[in-house]
Amino acid sequence: ALISLREMLDHAAENHYGVPAFNVNNLEQMRAIMEAADETDSPVIVQASAGARKYAGAPFLRHLILAATEEFPHIPVVMHQDHGTSPAVCQRSIQLGFSSVMMDGSLKDDGKTPSTYEYNVDVTRRTVEMAHACGVSVEGELGCLGSLETGQAGEEDGVGAEGTLSHDQLLTDPDEAAEFVKATHVDALAIACGTSHGAYKFTRPPTGDILAIDRIREIHQRIPNTHLVMHGSSSVPQEWLKVINDNGGEIPETYGVPVEQIQEGIRHGVRKVNIDTDLRLASTGAIRRFLTENPSEFDPRKYFAVATKAMKDICIQRYEAFGAAGQG
Ligand code: G3H
Ligand code: 13P
Ligand code: NA
Ligand code: ZN
């Protein structure tokens, strides 16, 4: 059944676990996520980006998610809109039946220029008023996502700041977070704590506190009833990079956020953990390997099946590691 993000994350907070939020663009991702949740008895957050709507079309995405709730009626599902760039975009998703929307007012409506605090409060507050009237939850964002190592916002189009960010912009300020929540009444808040979107987060194997865990703890203490969201949480599995590169791929050396660091974040208040890149890498690796090993095969269902299995394995690992398994 579809439920709101607030309802799901209130349960996660009471029971001290985190929920992975997987991006969804197609049938194979949707099946992988639901089958993994079914096997591990986990709650599900599926999120659709602007890029996903462009790729699949809003009605197809909507029905893909609704089909998941029809086939798996016992699994609680949050249908979330990822990185909305304006109140109008969020309004459209609410009309489509999403149970949660992200208003990312940390960036202007071009999705790449850092905005002012006042702009962020204005668009987020207006979105909350509209969404709450419809029983829909809202995630806001304060701060600019970017690697604490490189100062870079990440590689994806339309979902991050452009250029190099200052250390100050890269960490959400706890006082400002408290003020922001008071002014907007968001249900969840994405914070900048050292992660970035995409596959190129870190150039070296991350050691120690690659994430600003202290900052997460400080923010959580200030806004204990607002659920913290970690974007850019892919771990960039080295084994899948190897499979890709052993089968004709050319992905340079790169590292993601270790699962243990995410677990540490969950212990300090992170409840929603956004993952897209890891499923992209697993499906690409599985398809490359399958086609190398089966050069005469041309039935797409054959290689999509191995891609689904590869993504499902990652989903199972994340549900278990974040403590969501058994909570569905
Ligand atoms: O927030 C970023 C997600 O990975 C979505 O990426 O805009 O390419 O679909 P996308
Ligand atoms: P990754 O690129 O690390 O998977 O992050 C996805 C994300 O934050 C979507 O909003
Ligand atoms: Na941001
Ligand atoms: Zn994101």
Determine the length of the chain.
328
Please determine, for residue 157, whether its predicted confidence score (pLDDT) is greater than 60.
no
Q: Rounded distance, CA 159 to CA 91, Å?
A: 19
Which residues form ligand 2's pocket by a CB distance below 6 Å? 23, 82-83, 197-198, 231-234, 274-278
* pLDDT of 170 above 50: yes
* 10: phi then psi, degrees, rounded to nearest 5: -60, -40
pLDDT(234) > 80: yes
CA distances from 118 to 108, 115, 148, 179, 222 (A): 11, 8, 25, 11, 20
pLDDT digits (tens, 9 = 90+) for 243-299: 999 999 999 999 999 999 999 999 999 999 999 999 999 999 999 999 999 999 999
Helices (H), the chain: 5-14, 27-40, 50-56, 58-71, 87-96, 117-133, 174-184, 213-222, 238-246, 259-267, 277-293, 300-321
Atom of ligand 2 at shortest range from CA of 278: 4
How sure is the predictor about 132, in pLDDT bands with cuts at 50, 70 and 90?
very high
Instruction: Please report the pLDDT score of residue 158 as a whole number.
Output: 45
- Binding site residue list for Zn(2+): 83, 104, 141, 197, 231
What local confidence, expressed as pLDDT, does residue 164 receive? 72
Distance 113 CA to ligand 4 centre (A): 15
Residue type, 172: T
Q: Can you give the pLDDT at residue 169?
A: 74
Residue list, annotated binding site:
83, 104, 141, 197-198, 231-234, 274-277
How does pLDDT run across 53-65, given as a tens digit for each residue? Answer: 999 999 999 999 9
Mean pLDDT of 215-219: 97
Q: Quick one: average pLDDT of 123-135?
A: 98
* Averaged pLDDT of the chain: 95
For ligand 1, pick from 82, 83, 139, 233 the residue to mutate: most ligand atoms within 8 Å of CB. Answer: 82
Sequence spans of domains, the chain: 5-235+252-284+304-321
pLDDT at 112: 87
CA of 216 to the centre of ligand 1 (A): 23
Q: Give dist(CA 271, CA 265) in Å, integer.
A: 9
Catalytic residues: 82
> Smallest Cα–Cα separation from 106: which of 173, 22, 15, 45?
173
The pick from 200, 231, 254 for probing ligand 2's pocket by mutation, whose C-beta has the most ligand atoms within 8 angstroms, reads: 231
Nearest 5°: phi and psi at 18? Answer: -120, 155
Expressed in angstroms, the distance from the first to the final Cα of the chain is 11
Give me the architecture of the 5-235+252-284+304-321 domain, per CATH. Alpha-Beta Barrel (3.20)
Q: What is the pLDDT of residues 69-122, one digit of tens each?
A: 999 999 999 999 999 999 999 999 999 999 999 999 999 999 888 899 999 999
pTM of the model: 0.96
Q: Please report which ligand is nearest the Cα atom of 192.
A: 3
| Three-class SS state of 271 | strand
In this structure, the dihedral spanned by the alpha carbons of residues 257, 258, 264 and 266, taken in order and rounded to 10 degrees, is 60
Ligand 1 is surrounded, with C-beta below 6 A, by 23, 49-52, 82-83, 156, 158-159, 197, 276
The confidence band for 160, taking pLDDT boundaries of 50, 70 and 90, is low
- ipTM value of the model? 0.95
